[in-house]
């Protein structure tokens, strides 16, 4: 495909959406965008969310520009601290948010019907490509997923929801393996939260920081 063809095939849906954005939200928040461009961003919260198109944090939390620093990956996982010279995109985003932006709240946000979690619970799943990037990535949850698979008392749906929530606690543990995060949390300069969004009902469940249980927040 030539470069010209690529330009011509830029999706119409995106261009018409962009037009509506410029006439609506951008027009309404022009000053805010200008201020953010001049002063730089100062988001209040870092959110680790899934790539899933149905669970965008900016939509769920009704956030404007400059409010949320969002890192999205398959199944909203935080890998453990591993300064091994490899390419760690999520760790890079965490490092920037905490050390440069001085974010003071981190939310690991999972969601219902997560395809990544469902893949982690299916030991017979074939790789989607020879690289098996999803298989390797979801391997972060292997020990936890294996325990749930072995329980015959749970239905498939119960296993799925359980792993979606357990993986949030697991990611929070991994967050604390980053020295810059654990030190700030100990000094009470950083707070870590868990949340789970049910895409079918719109319910938001938040993690009780004492028990780890997921509860509906009071409004
Ligand atoms: Zn997901």
Distance 214 CA to ligand 1 centre (A): 17
User: Do residues 98 and 180 make contact, with C-beta atoms less than 8 angstroms apart?
Assistant: yes
Task: Among 3.40.1050.10, 1.20.1050.10, 3.60.10.10, 3.30.70.1400, name the CATH number for the domain at 43-214.
Answer: 3.40.1050.10
Calculate how far, in angstroms, residue 187's C-alpha sits from the geometric centre of ligand 1: 32
Ligand 1 centroid to 62 CA: how many Å? Answer: 19
pLDDT digits (tens, 9 = 90+) for 75-95: 999 999 999 999 999 999 999
**What is the distance between the alpha carbons of residues 97 and 102, in angstroms, rounded to a whole number?**
6
**In the chain, what are the domain boundaries?**
1-40, 43-214
**C-alpha span between 176 and 139 (Å, rounded):** 19
Q: Span 51-71, mean pLDDT?
A: 97
CA of 115 to the centre of ligand 1 (A): 5
pLDDT tens profile 106-116 = 999 999 999 99
Residue 51, annotated as binding a ligand:
no
**Is residue 114 part of an annotated ligand binding site?**
yes
DSSP 8-state class, residue 23: I
pLDDT score at 218: 84
Average pLDDT, the chain: 95
Q: Is 52 annotated as a binding residue?
A: yes
pTM, 2 dp: 0.94
Name residue 194's beta-bridge partners. Answer: 108
């Amino acid at each position: 495909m030539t470069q010209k063809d690529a330009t011509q095939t830029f999706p119409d849906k995106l261009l018409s959406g962009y037009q509506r954005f410029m006439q609506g939200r951008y027009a309404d928040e022009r000053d805010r965008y200008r201020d953010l461009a001049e002063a730089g961003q100062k988001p209040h919260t870092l959110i680790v969310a899934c790539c899933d198109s149905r669970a965008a944090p900016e939509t769920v939390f009704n956030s404007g520009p400059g409010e949320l620093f969002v890192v999205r990956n398959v199944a909203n996982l935080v890998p453990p601290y591993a300064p091994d010279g490899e390419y760690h995109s999520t760790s890079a985003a965490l490092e920037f948010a905490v050390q440069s932006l001085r974010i003071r709240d981190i939310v690991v946000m999972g969601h219902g019907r997560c395809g990544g979690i469902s893949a982690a619970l299916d030991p017979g799943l074939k790789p989607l490509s020879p690289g098996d990037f999803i298989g390797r990535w979801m391997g972060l949850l292997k020990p936890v997923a294996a325990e749930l698979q072995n329980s015959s008392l749970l239905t498939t749906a119960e296993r799925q929801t359980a792993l979606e929530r357990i993986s949030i606690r697991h990611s929070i543990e991994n967050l604390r393996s980053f020295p810059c995060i654990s030190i700030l949390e100990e000094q009470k300069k950083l707070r870590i939260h868990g949340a789970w969004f049910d895409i079918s009902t719109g319910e938001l469940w938040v993690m009780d920081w004492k028990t780890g249980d997921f509860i509906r927040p009071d409004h």
